[in-house]
Amino acid sequence: MITFIKQHSCKDELKASNLKVTPARIGVMRFLESVSKPADAETILKDLNKEGINPDPATIYRILDILSGKGLIQKIELGEGKYRYEKSENHHHHLICTNCGKIEDVKADFVSNLEGQIREKNGFLVKSHSLEFFGLCKNCQN
């Protein structure tokens, strides 16, 4: 018996979402896969530039928009007045140091339990959520 192991690929993900495969799109997907912290548009663009891909900022925004529309990435806000993006599989919560700006991760799935309660109490169907903590990281408490 032969088992086909689904080899993960940015290109395949794009195709699976009926999106044309372009260098800029591959670059964005790759980058978001490689980083542990959610990244903003500017950071993403600069990384692509390093790899010799030079899309217009408008293109980056359009790509981020379509990818989050397809659910491949998540658009989040961390109280900075701009958006950050993360690969959907990387979803987790953050600890944002209000002093130095450091962003740490917290893995916690307690929120999932709440969604059922909300459905019952409020009749609201939760599709996604954000949970962020602001405060002082270890280094900034002195």
Partner DNA sequence: TTAGGTGCAAATGATTTGCAATAAT
Partner DNA sequence: ATTATTGCAAATCATTTGCACCTAA
Residues near DNA (CB under 7 A) are 15, 19-25, 40-42, 54-59, 61-63, 65-66, 81-83
**With binding defined as CB under 8 A, does residue 98 bind its own copies?**
yes
| Contacting residues for 12 by C-beta, under 8 A, at least 6 apart | none
Smaller CB separation from its own copies, 11 or 119: 119
Q: Which does 127 bind (CB under 5 to 8 A by kind): DNA, its own copies, none?
A: its own copies
Q: Does 142 bind its own copies (CB under 8 A)?
A: no
CA atoms 45, 48, 52, 54: torsion sign:
negative
Residue 126 beta carbon to its own copies: minimum distance, rounded to whole angstroms:
4
- DSSP string spanning 29-62? HHHHHH-SS-B-HHHHHHHHHHTT----HHHHHH
Tokens of 123: 């009749």
Rounded to whole angstroms, the Cα distance separating 85 from 76 reads 6
Which residues 52-91 are close enough to bind its own copies by CB under 8 A?
75, 77, 79, 81, 83
Query: What H or E segment, with its residue span, contains residue 10?
Result: helix 10-16
d(CA 98, CA 80) in angstroms, rounded, equals 10
Residue 33 as a binder of its own copies (CB under 8 A): the answer is no
- Among DNA, its own copies, none, what binds residue 66 when CB lies within 5 to 8 Å by partner kind? DNA
Q: Which residues here bind its own copies, judged by CB under 8 A?
A: 75, 77, 79, 81, 83, 95, 97-98, 104, 106, 108, 110-111, 114-115, 118, 121-138, 141
